[in-house]
Structure 1
C-alpha cells in the first residue's frame, strides 16, 4: 500500500492561484474525487495534501478546504503541509495558530519562485528555526543552483526536519545530472533531511522520457539518503505533465526492481507514518 506524501488539489472556484495562468496544462480544476478514483486503483491508501502556492490571502482557506475534504466518508487525506511566509514578521503568530491544529503536519515555502535573498534573510531563517521541537516539518523546493542557500538554511536549523522535494528538482530533460548531483550529495550529509521521490517524470522530456532517464537520479538519492530517509509522492497533478499518476506509479515500480520488500515499504509508507506519527 502506498502513502502519497505530495498531493496537490486545485479548486479554482474556491481559491486563487496566481501562477496557473503561466502553466496552461495545469490551469484547470484537479479535485479530490478525480484523484481518488485513479489512486485507489493503484494501491494508494493515504495522502498528505501539499500547498499549491495560493494567493497569500487564501493560505488559511486552502487548509480549511482540504480539512473539509478529509472529513468526508472514506477520504484518504490524512493531513496537510501548509503554505507559509517565514519572511514575514507575522509568522510566529501564524505558527502558533497552526500548531493547535493536528491536521497540519508541516509547512512549505517554494524557494525558486522568490528572489534568493528571501531565504537568506535572518528573519526567514530564524522563523524556520522556530519549528524546532514542534514535530512540524519544512519542505524544501528549490533548484540545483540554489543549493548553497538551501544548505545555509538547513544548517541554521539543525533540529528541524527538512524534506527535499522532487529529488532536488533535477533538469532531466536538459541532462542536468552534473549540475545536480554534488548539491544533493551535500544535502544528504545532513541527518535531519529526508528526500522525496516525487513526480520526477515532469522534469524529463514530456513525451519521450524513459525509465533509463530517471534511474541515475533515483539511484543517486537512494545511494546517499538510503531508504530510511526517503518518502514517496505523486506530485499530482504536476505529474500529468510527464504521463500521469498511473505512469509515475509504474515507473517507481520499475525503479524499485530488485529492491527487497522491507525497503519498498519504508519508501512507500512506513517512513511517512513514522515521520508524521500517522
Structure 2
C-alpha cells in the first residue's frame, strides 16, 4: 500500500493563509479531497495523512470532517495548543476520534529558537503518549539544536521530522544540517519524512541531482525503517507536479530491496501513525 504521509487541505482565505506569498500564487485557491483523490488515482497512491496548516481547533475539526467523509484519508495530524494549562481536556476530547493520530505546531514560524524547550510546551508534549498521539516536528535547520534536546527528553514519544527539517537546498546549505540530523536520528523514536524538498530549492530551476546528498544522508541516518514518503501537496505545486515529487523518492529508493521500498512508500507511515 502506498501512503502519502504528508499533505494538506484548505479553503483558501488570504488572512488565514497569509504565508502563501506572491511567489506561490498557484496555490491561492481551495484544495479539497475530490481533487487529491484524482491525483492519487493517477499516481497509484492508496491513502494519505492530512496535516494541519492552520493553528486552530477549527482546523483540526475541518480535517476530521474531511477524513470522516473520505476513506482514503487514513489519518489526521491536527493542532491543539500544547502550551495551554487545559491541554489534557483537549486531548481527552479528541481521543475518541479514531482518525486523529497526532498533533503539530508550526514551530518554524516561532521567533524563539528554543520554543520547543519552553516549560509549558514540554508539559503539553508530556501528555501525548498516554493518548497514543504522535507529534510532527516542523522546523528550520537553525532549530535542530533545540530539537535534539527536545526529543531526548521524551524517549518513548513517537516523533517525525517533517520535510527533512527544510535544509536550505537553494543556497547549498548542508554540513550543519547533516551533522545535527545525524544526531537527532540516533534517537530511535524519531522518524523522518522525505517530503517538502522541491520547495526548498529554486522553484523553477531545480534538478533531481540537487536532492541526492540530502536524501542519502537521511536514509543513512534514519534507515529505511524510519523514513516515509510524503508529497506536501498542494504546497509542492509551486515548484513542480505531484508525479515529479513522487518520482524523486521512488527513483532514489529504486536500488533498495523491495521490502525497504515498501516500508518507505507506505508501511512505515501505517505503523508510525497506526493507520
Which position in structure 2 is the counterpart of 1:85?
81
Which position in structure 1 is the counterpart of 2:252?
255
**Contact 1:211/1:254 (CA < 8 Å) preserved in 2?**
no
Q: CA RMSD in A?
A: 1.8
Q: How many equivalent residue pairs?
A: 272
Deviation at 1:268, TM superposition (A): 0.8
Candidates 171, 186, 191, aligned match of 1:174: 171
**Contact 1:173/1:203 (CA < 8 Å) preserved in 2?**
yes
For residues 70 and 118 of structure 1, the distance between their equivalents in structure 2, rounded to whole angstroms, comes to: 30
Deviation at 1:72, TM superposition (A): 3.1
**Contact 1:206/1:242 (CA < 8 Å) preserved in 2?**
yes
Candidates 101, 107, 132, aligned match of 1:105: 101
Candidates 236, 253, 270, aligned match of 1:239: 236
Which position in structure 1 is the counterpart of 2:52?
51
SS of the equivalent of 2:129 reads: coil
Residue 273 (1) aligns with residue 270 (2): yes
Deviation at 1:204, TM superposition (A): 1.0
Runs of 4+ in structure 1 deviating by more than 6 angstroms, as ranges, are none
Which position in structure 1 is the counterpart of 2:41?
40
For residues 188 and 11 of structure 2, the distance between their equivalents in structure 1, rounded to whole angstroms, comes to: 37
Residue 131 (1) aligns with residue 128 (2): yes
SS of the equivalent of 1:29 reads: coil
Between the two structures, name the one with larger relative contact order (CA 8 Å, sep ≥ 6): 2
**Contact 1:2/1:269 (CA < 8 Å) preserved in 2?**
yes
For residues 240 and 62 of structure 2, the distance between their equivalents in structure 1, rounded to whole angstroms, comes to: 27
Matches within 5 A, 1:222-237: 222-237=219-234
For residues 120 and 64 of structure 1, the distance between their equivalents in structure 2, rounded to whole angstroms, comes to: 27
For residues 18 and 208 of structure 1, the distance between their equivalents in structure 2, rounded to whole angstroms, comes to: 25
Candidates 114, 118, 139, aligned match of 2:115: 118
Which position in structure 1 is the counterpart of 2:19?
19
Gaps of at least 5 residues in structure 1 are none
For residues 109 and 210 of structure 1, the distance between their equivalents in structure 2, rounded to whole angstroms, comes to: 31
Normalised to the residue count of structure 1, the TM-score between the two structures is 0.91
Distance 1:7 1:218, change over 3 A: same
Candidates 156, 159, 173, aligned match of 2:156: 159
Offset from partner CA, 1:102-142 (integer Å, 9 cap, x none): 12100001211112243221111121011124321101111
SS of the equivalent of 1:205 reads: coil
